[in-house]
Amino acid sequence: MTGVILAGGKNTRMGENKAFLRIGGERLIDRTIRLFRSIFQEVIIVTATPLDYLDQEAVIVTDILPGKGALGGLYTGLFYSKDEHAFFSACDMPFLNGAFLEYMAQQAAGYDIVVPAPPDGLQPLHAIYARRCLPAIRARLDRNRLQIKEFYPGHHILKIPPEVLDTFDPEGHMFLNINTPEDLERLSLS
């Protein structure tokens, strides 16, 4: 399986590249790459600024269809993936859980999408997608319909329920991301 990091956001609310924020003295991108390399056979970074990531041990790609948001990044990551399935996460998720990622990967066979389903809604940027999804994603991109979950209907989906999520993450931190300086400050105070 391939691990794909989506690092193509505009970072407008943060004011700087979120992938390079430091948590506990380590950049988020370095933490995520280290974790992904311990789990996945291939690691891809999808970014609009590839030169920023030349120090990473990963395949670095830019959007095939620029300006299409996270769905465009998902399409690009799947397109370049060598594997049938790829796990996707945003670059600003400091609490990715290796044991849970391995659990998700073990569930992927036979599914087009494996997605956590906590009570507050599906987590499409912490999910596994099969290359079989590429035509449906492309059709949405061509119509400028950029909501990731809109291409889900018609696919074989495994939604991981809250009771399973709680066994890996009783505090409910796995899906937190950092969007603003205030988010970062709250994180460093906890």
**pLDDT confidence of residue 106:** 97
Pairing of strands 85-90, 2-6: parallel
User: What CATH number does the domain containing 31 carry?
Assistant: 3.90.550.10
How many folded domains does the chain comprise?
Answer: 1
Name the residue among 86, 77, 71, 75 with its Cα closest to residue 59. Answer: 77
How distant, in Å, are the alpha carbons of 18, 36, 74, 183 from that of 180? 9, 25, 23, 5
**pLDDT confidence of residue 190:** 47
Domain span including residue 98: 2-189
Contact 6, 125 (CB under 8 A): yes
Per-residue pLDDT reduced to its tens digit, 100-109: 999 999 999 9
Cα(80)–Cα(60) distance, integer angstroms = 10
**pLDDT confidence of residue 115:** 98
Per-residue pLDDT reduced to its tens digit, 112-140: 999 999 999 999 999 999 999 999 999 99
Provide the percentage of residues in the chain whose pLDDT is more than 70: 89
- Which tokens in the block code for residue 113? 């999408």
The predicted model gives 78-86 an average pLDDT of 98
